[in-house]
Amino acid sequence: MYPSDIFSRMYSGEEESKVYPKKEEAPSEVDDVLQTNLFNVMLNRRSQRNFEDRDVEDWKLEMIFAAADTAPTAGGFQGFEIYHVKNADIKAKLVQAANNQPYVSAPVTLVFCMNPSRVRMNFPLNIIKKFSVQDATLAAAYAQLAAHALGVSSVWIGMIDEQKAMQALGTDLVPACILCLGYPKKMLQAKPKRNLSELIHEI
Ligand SMILES: Cc1cc2nc3c(=O)[nH]c(=O)nc-3n(C[C@H](O)[C@H](O)[C@H](O)COP(=O)(O)O)c2cc1C
């Protein structure tokens, strides 16, 4: 079963130490809300900056985290960390760190940080750092799509003052991006993208 598999991915072997104890039993509800066609999920996603003032269910958050945890990573070392910022003061500091973009203080604020020290490969440091940027970015992209599949909208924040954000989080890990999530005040239509013939360069 898809939902139980995706949950167990996050918590296998950690029965007693769940970070997000489920308030609801997810599987019966998942079928009603989950968009399972990956291509439709991709096609319909649209950045959202106006969120309703209501929480995202814990079981949906679990699925979003579990989806992030499925992303490919360099050498399989998972060179990234996710900070789930719940503290209002820290959120306010992150708003400042993100050039005062107010929606950074969304119902759910996730900061994806690089953790190159996890990438134990015998390559130059610049390559290892680049790997961890890609690890963090891919994980955030997977989380963003998973959220959309669950009816949760988001915006990706790349405009970050790294030092301010690190100070706010109390970490020496550099943030790659912030993902702001919540229920949209109004669902938006996906933006048109480039024509594929402009995008693809056959050589
Ligand atoms: C690397 C990157 C950085 C971004 N930074 C910001 C940002 O700082 N603030 C913001 O409001 N949106 C940001 N976005 C969201 C883009 O503005 C948005 O994805 C783009 O306009 C396309 O719209 P769509 O996501 O609805 O397709 C960023 C997206 C990416 C991928």
* 92-128 tens-digit pLDDT: 999 999 999 999 999 999 999 999 999 999 999 999 9
State the amino acid at position 13 in one-letter form. G
Ligand 1 pocket test, candidate residues 41, 103, 142, 157, most atoms within 8 A of CB = 157
CA 145 to chain centre: 8
CA distances (Å), origin 121, targets 135, 148, 149, 177: 14, 34, 34, 24
Interhelix angle 2-11/26-33, rounded to 10 degrees, is: 120
Question: Which ligand 1 atom lies nearest to the CA of residue 188?
Answer: 26
CA 203 → CA 64, 123, 195, 200, distances in Å?
38, 30, 18, 9
Q: How far apart are CA 171 and CA 83, in angstroms?
A: 10
What is 40-184's CATH number, 3.40.109.10, 3.40.190.10, 3.20.20.390, 3.40.50.620? 3.40.109.10
- Global pTM? 0.91
Q: How far is CA 169 from CA 93, 103, 117, 130, in A?
A: 9, 17, 18, 22
d(CA 183, CA 176): 23
Per the model's pLDDT, the better-predicted residue between 152 and 30 turns out to be 152
- Which residue has its alpha carbon closest to ligand 1 atom 6? 157
pLDDT at residue 14 above 80?
A: no
In angstroms, rounded to a whole number, what is the distance separating the alpha carbons of residues 48 and 24? 26
Cα dihedral 154, 159, 164, 170, rounded to 10, equals 40
Q: What's the pLDDT tens digit per position in 135-186?
A: 999 999 999 999 999 999 999 999 999 999 999 999 999 999 999 999 999 9
